[in-house]
Amino acid sequence: MFEAPPPPPPSPPGTEEEQPALRHLAGRRRGWRWGAIFWSALSGLLLMAFSYWAYSFVETLFAREDWLGWTALGLAFLAGIAAVAIVIREIWGLSRLEQIGTVRALAERTLRSDKQEDATETLRGLKALYGHRVDMARAIENLSYSQSEIIDPADRVRLAERALMTELDRDAAGLIARSSRRVSILTALTPAAALDVVFVAAQNLVMLRGLATLYGSRPHLLGTIRLAKMVLTHLAVTGSIAFSDTLLQHVIGRGLAGRLSARVGEGAVNGIMTARIGLTAIDVVRPLPFETLKRPRLSAIAGRIGDTVKDEED
């Protein structure tokens, strides 16, 4: 006789499928990319060539005069340190951008799952982003007051949004309005069509950087480029929706302004486009999704641009 084997242990309850954190940074690819290899290899080669040239240059100078050689060496050393600092700064800027994405994914997950650990993690991330900022000190303090209460995890995140984002959203809307106003005026006043492309692009980049800095990441060169890419991707994904939302205003606005002058009409269009890019950028750089607070509306910003354009013409 053999004894019946013990029943198999009950299979663990279906672990809640952990949805991969929503990459709000759309359009990121992983894995080998030939382009990346090409550029890394090429830049490595150039770096080697450059350092070889610098080395031999310094050597030549030493051969000629000692003090020339020392000066060149010192300058090279300084340049090296600065280069390292720049690289570190870029990496840091990129990681801040990444951090905002992570906090946002966490916040979205908390709002869905209502789990305590997620909420704690989200708030820790927010504190890391804003803890050292003087302008946010009050908001952070307000927030930590209510953290001693019994509050549901999802509500905790909503509370954090109200405490931290209210001012930032207002500032961001102002920043966007200022940028689009500037773009409108510049477009209307620049004599050459080719020039305003440069102006608009530069102004948009400045705005993106300003927004990112406002919400807690401080992108420099690479960060800004990455950010611009993300915003463009996001715009491409959501653009059609945003477009149909404001098509009417767009057409009417352009029509009216265009009656006055073709340049002013173009200025209005560029201004609205800048505003839209700015609003999209908020989606990308804001560490919390819009849950309790209302998203700044294009119509409000567009209205302000219109006022200013009229002012300028008076």
Partner 1 sequence: MARSRFSRMADRGLIALTELAEYTGALGNPALRLGVTGLSRSGKTVFITALVHNLLHGGKLPLFDPFAERRITRAYLEPQPDDDVPRFSYEEHVEALLGPDRHWPNSTRRMSQLRLTIEYQPRSVLARKLGRNRLHIDIVDYPGEWLLDLPLMNMPYETWSSAMIKASHATGANTHGAWHEILQQADPLGPENETAAVRASEAFKQYLLACREDQIAMSFLPPGRFLMPGDLEGSPLLTFSPLNTPPNGGTPPKRSQWAMMARRYDAYVRNVVRPFYRDHFARLDRQIVLVDALAALNAGAAAVTDLGRALTDVLGSFRHGKGNPLTGIFGRRIDRIMIAATKADLLHHTSHDQLEAIAALLVEQSITRASFQGSEVDVTALAAIRATREADILEGGDKLPCIVGVPQAGEYLGHDRFDGLREAAIFPGDLPEDPNAALAGAAEGQVRFVRFRPPQLESGRWDLGASFPHIRLDRTLNFLLSDFLE
Q: What does the binding site for partner 1 look like in residue numbers (CB under 8 A)?
A: 145-146, 148-152, 155, 158-159, 162, 292
How many C-beta neighbours within 10 Å does residue 125 have? 20
Q: What amino acid occupies position 150?
A: I
- Least CB distance to partner 1 at residue 9 (A): 19
Quote the least distance from Cβ 241 to partner 1, whole Å: 24
Which is closer to partner 1, CB of 153 or CB of 223? Answer: 153
Nearest to 279 by CA among 204, 201, 198, 188: 204
Residue (149 or 311) nearer to partner 1, CB: 149
Give the E-state strand segments of the chain in sequence order. Answer: none
* Residue whose CB is less far from partner 1, 126 or 183: 126
Minimum Å gap between C-beta 166 and partner 1 is 9
Distance CA 111, CA 236 (A): 26
Report DSSP state, residue 291: S
In this complex, which beta carbon is closest to partner 1, that of residue 127 or of residue 162?
162
Torsion of CA 47, 49, 54, 59, to 10 degrees: 140
- Identify which of residues 5 and 13 has a Cβ nearer to partner 1 in the complex: 13
Q: Collapse the DSSP code of 273 into the 3-class scheme (helix H, G, I; strand E, B; otherwise coil) and give the result.
A: helix
Q: At its nearest, how many Å lie between partner 1 and the CB of residue 168?
A: 16
Residue whose structure tokens are 């800048």 = 274
